[in-house]
Amino acid sequence: MNKENSVSRVNPSQAYRLLNHGPTVLVTSTHGQYRNIMAAAWNMPLDFDPPKVAIVIDKNTYTREPMEASGSFAINVPCRAQAEMVVRVGNCSGRELLGKSPDNKLAAFDIPTFPASEISAPLIEGCVAWLECKIVPEPHIQNTYDLFLAEVVAAQADERVFSEGRWHFEGHDELRTLHHIAGGQFFLAGKSLQAG
Ligand SMILES: Cc1cc2nc3c(=O)[nH]c(=O)nc-3n(C[C@H](O)[C@H](O)[C@H](O)COP(=O)(O)O)c2cc1C
C-alpha cells in the first residue's frame, strides 16, 4: 500500500476505469537486480473479464527488458504534482545509467516506491492509481508493433480522487491526472459531466 495517503483496493474488473480517461502513465518493471521506470502515453483498457490492458513499449526502451524477462509490469497513474518527473523519466534511458551505481533511474532520480502485491515491479509513491499487470504473451504483436497485452491482477487507487468506481478531482488540483499531447505539453483531467 502507498504509505502516505489512503488508498483502497480496486477490483481488477473495474481497473479499466483507472485508464478510461486516457492518462499518461509510468511503467515500472524489475527482473533480478534491474529495476526501471518510463513514461507511456499510449495505453488503453482492452477487456473487462478477465480485465486486460494494452500498452505500447518501444523495443529500444530499457524498461522492456525486465518487463519481458519477468512477464509482468506495473502501470502507475501519475498526477499534476509529478509532471516534471514524468517528462524526466520519459526523456532518458535507464540503459545510460548501467554501470553507474546504483544502476537505475528510480535511484538516480530518487523516486520513492512501495511493493506491489501480485508482481515484483515497484509501485511509485505519489501516484493516484496503480495497476499490476501480467503480460499475455503475443510475440508477433510485441515484436511487430511494440504492443503488449496484459491482464490486470490487482489494482488500487487514491481514495481522495477515485472511489466507488469513479474519478472525482474537485478540490484536488495537484492530483489531477496528466494527458500528454506532445513535447511535454499535457492537459489535466478536467470537469466531470454525467450524461444519460
Ligand atoms: C510523456 C511521454 C510519453 C511517452 N509515451 C511512450 C509510450 O507510450 N511508449 C513508448 O514506448 N515510449 C513512450 N515514451 C518514451 C519513453 O518514456 C522513453 O523512450 C524512455 O526514455 C524509455 O526509458 P528506458 O529506456 O529507461 O526504459 C514517452 C515519453 C514521454 C515523455
Q: Whose alpha carbon is nearest atom 16 of ligand 1?
A: 90
pLDDT at position 93: 94
- Which residues surround ligand 1 with Cβ inside 6 Å? 24, 36, 38-42, 56-58, 61-63, 86-87, 90-95, 105, 180
Within a domain: 195? no
Within a domain: 196? no
CATH code at 178?
2.30.110.10
- Residue to substitute in 38, 75, 96, 100 for testing ligand 1 pocket (most ligand atoms within 8 angstroms of CB): 38
For the record, the C-alpha cell of 23 comes out as 492518462
Q: Whose alpha carbon is nearest atom 31 of ligand 1?
A: 90
Q: Whose alpha carbon is nearest atom 12 of ligand 1?
A: 40
Within a domain: 106? yes
Strands (DSSP E) contained in 62-192 are: 72-77, 113-114, 123-124, 129-136, 147-158, 162-163, 166-167, 178-182, 185-188
Angle value at C-alpha 116, between 4 and 45, nearest 5 degrees:
100
Distance, CA 193 to ligand 1 centroid (Å)? Answer: 31
Distance, CA 25 to ligand 1 centroid (Å)? Answer: 10
Q: Give residue for cell 511494440.
A: 146
Within a domain: 193? no
What pTM, to 2 d.p., does this model score? 0.95
Within a domain: 2? no
What is residue 111's DSSP assignment?
Answer: -
Q: Whose alpha carbon is nearest atom 7 of ligand 1?
A: 40
Domain of residue 114, residue span: 7-188
Residue 35 and residue 122 in contact, taking contact as beta carbons nearer than 8 Å: yes
pLDDT at position 20: 87
Residues 6+ away with beta carbon under 8 Å from 124 = 26, 28, 37, 76, 78, 111, 112, 113, 130
Distance, CA 178 to ligand 1 centroid (Å)? Answer: 14
pLDDT in tens, the chain (196 residues): 455 679 999 999 999 999 988 999 999 999 998 899 999 999 999 999 999 999 999 999 999 999 999 999 999 999 999 999 999 999 999 998 877 756 689 999 999 999 999 999 999 999 999 999 999 999 999 999 999 999 999 999 999 999 999 999 999 999 999 999 999 999 999 999 999 9
Within a domain: 134? yes
The count of domains in the chain is 1
pLDDT at position 102: 60
Q: Whose alpha carbon is nearest atom 29 of ligand 1?
A: 90
